[in-house]
Structure 1
Amino acid sequence: MAITAAMVKELRETTGAGMMDAKKALTENDGDMQAAQDWLRTKGLAKAAKKSGRVAAEGLVGVAVRDGKGVAVEVNSETDFVAKNEEFQDMVRRIATAALDVDDVEALKNAQIDGKPVSEVLTDAIARIGENMTLRRMEKVEAPLVVSYVHNAAADGMGKIGVLVGLDGGNEDIGRQIAMHVAATSPASLGQDDLDPALVEREKQVLTEQARESGKPEAVIEKMIEGRMNKFFEEVTLNGQKFVINPDVTVEQAASDAGAKIVGFARVAVGEGIDKREEDFAAEVAKTLGGA
């Protein structure tokens, strides 16, 4: 029986198996879809689909820099044990390298690693390692000089927090210092003009209500709001923040003193924003052992 692309696609979607594995399963079973599914199960290649609903909030951020381009890629797993797995780490490293040649995470999923799309490489890893994994996001920075930093490194170029800093001028040393600052403070934007207008308006409303509660004259209240908003901008923008290495100057001034201008940055932390399922550890053990 002729094996069509549509049949392979259907089997992949049903089982989560890789393309070549799905094609081989159909070929071995003369196109019988149910038999092909069973064949994949016996080979341990049909695990991915069953695991796709499980929360993957651990994992690693991989960073890579080349020719004025830097990328930070978050690849999630269910447990921190997998993040320490050398096979998983090698996959993250290769995905980060592939990300240098694309512009967004959707394009990255279709990028090739050893002749396979990244999405298929991930599906194959799920089947082999036995945990749900996701390619969640990527950030890219382009500048004359891009410096990367990894916090809580698990291996070279990957860890729990990945930071990229793009500079015009300066050197690796000041870039790394600023990247470490970004890892510690998680600024919302580079400068005031880059801030989300909704965030600015929300903060202004809160500060306005606080100022009005003081009962002071309107002219005084306006000055209070202006001063507090300026303080807010200093606290949440990278350029305006006090430099952690030397709080007597702002980050922007520290860069300038080193002959550099910050043109962009990115900070990616593993599991940021993912709703993690909390469960009592004793109850989890009991469940595993067949208890209540």
Structure 2
Amino acid sequence: MAARELIGFLRAKVSSLHQARCFHVETSLLATDKNLLIKLRKRTGYSFVNCKRALDKFNNDSKQAEAWLNEEAQKEGWSKASKLQGRKTVEGLIGLLQEGNCAVMVEVNCETDFVARNANFQQLVQQAALGTMMYHQGKQENLATYIKSFLGAGELSQLKTSSDGTLLSDQLALAIGKLGENMTLRRAAWMAVPPNFFIGSYVHGAALSDALSPSSSTAFGKYGALVICQPLEESPRSSVAELGRRLGQHVVGMAPLSLGSLQDEPGGDMETKMLAQPFLLDPSVSVGQYLQPQGMAVVDFLRFECGEELEALDIEPTRHSAES
């Protein structure tokens, strides 16, 4: 073999070995990138294209990539929110959260029932409920009376979320950016009772998304009810909770407009006073008649129906005498 051919052969061999080494390194890097990409995609829910773009931008730093993705999605969400602002939001969910002697109901709306079943939307409803509960933290201490207060859309959007302290309005923009529908934070209500009272609760009409954490403390539905009750005698806690649930079912199903009193004559299906209405689970007796042998009094109630027409909300807290 001539010297020139030998030199050419050796150069080709060295080049081949170099390429093989580079290929091995690149393959290893690609495997690492793919692993990071899958994890980032699963954690954030953003597209593979955007996740890859973020990882490339920050040299595979997942935390920086995620922060950048959220920032970009939020910008896009605010842009989409302004464009979609006029579109009607007639669907959505009621979120109900109860902690001890306090309970919260919120309503968040979207355009379609398809989005209402999405985990990202349900997380937004959950954040609204948690934010409302946090906002009222401490107000239930040393209560001699029960208290009920309301928040309209403007007040609700300015609450901070429990997860990272961002505003609910920012979480809303993020959800709009992800899901591409107009959404609104419509209203919230909070109730707290003294130790000798309890709050019955019930939601109806929606399933939990498979992608939402099963440990979620927020219940979701198209209808929700809170019922403030006062036991007139000692009752087992389990039976009290079940009775509260049944009363909540009645409020959801029969939609009373006022409480009424035990002196009201029992009415028919068109009756709007709760205590005079036929009890939903036993129409042979009125709610008042059902409660008397239970040793229980209903003091107040609240019903939310997703998408219902609203009168102007009184957002100031209202307190009521525990004896009323």
Normalised by the size of structure 1, how large is the TM-score? 0.62
Q: 1:230 to 1:240 in 2, by over 3 A?
A: closer
Shift of residue 64 of structure 1?
A: 0.7
The question of 1:161 aligning with 2:200 is answered no
Secondary structure, counterpart of 1:55 in structure 2: coil
1:44 paired residue number: 76
Instruction: Say which SS state the counterpart of residue 108 (structure 1) adopts.
Output: helix
| Residue equivalent to 1:117 | 167
Separation in structure 2 between the aligned mates of residue 137 and residue 236 of structure 1, nearest angstrom: 24
Q: CA deviation at 1:260?
A: 1.3
Q: Do the aligned partners of 1:150 and 1:163 also contact (CA within 8 Å) in 2?
A: yes
For 2:268 and 2:229, the matched residues in 1 are separated by: 24
**Alpha-carbon distance, 1:168 to partner:** 1.1
Letter in 2 for 1:167: C
Confirm or deny: 8 A CA contact 1:174 1:255 kept in the other structure. no
Match of 2:252 among 180, 183, 191: 183
- For the Cα contact (< 8 Å) 1:72–1:162, is it kept in 2? yes
User: The residue matched to 2:246 in structure 1 has which SS?
Assistant: helix
CA–CA distance in 1 between the matches of 2:305 and 2:270? Answer: 23
Encode CA deviations 1:159-184: one digit per residue, 9 max, x unaligned. 11111111112501111111111111
Displacement, 1:116? Answer: 1.0
Q: How does 1:12-161 map to 2 (within 5 A)?
A: 44-45=76-77, 46-100=79-133, 101-102=135-136, 103-106=149-152, 107-113=155-161, 114-143=164-193, 144-155=197-208, 157-161=219-223
Distance of 1:85 and 1:239 partners within structure 2: 38
Paired AA for residue 131 in structure 1: E
- Contact 1:141/1:266, CA 8 A, preserved across alignment: no
Quick one: structure 1 residues 261 and 185, their matched pair in 2 at CA, closer, same or farther if it must change by over 3 Å? same
Percent of residue pairs identical: 37
Residue 76 of structure 2 aligns to a residue whose secondary structure is: coil
SS of 2:170's equivalent? helix
For structure 1, list consecutive stretches of 5 or more residues without a partner in the other structure.
1-39, 194-226, 275-292
Partners of 2:223 and 2:276 lie apart in 1 by 22
Report the CA distance between 1:63 and its aligned residue. Answer: 0.4
- Which 10-residue stretch deviates more, 109-118 or 180-189? 109-118
Structure number with bigger Rg: 2
Alpha-carbon displacement from aligned partner over 1:107-128 (angstroms, at most 9, x marks no partner)? 3322211211112211221122
Does residue 265 of the first structure (1) align with residue 309 of the second (2)? no
Q: Deviations 1:44-81 (Å, cap 9, x if unpaired)?
A: 34211001110001010000111222221110000001
1:246 and 2:287 equivalent? no
Shift in alpha-carbon separation, 1:120–1:57, aligned structure 2, 3 A: same
Aligned residues: 201
Q: Is the 8 A contact 2:176 2:183 kept in 1?
A: yes
- Separation in 1, partners of 2:188, 2:268: 28
| More displaced 10-residue stretch of structure 1: 110-119 or 73-82 | 110-119
Q: Which amino acid aligns with 2:90?
A: A
Aligned letter for 2:76?
G
Distance 1:231 1:252 in 2: 11
Equivalent pair of 1:152/1:161 in contact (CA under 8 Å) = yes
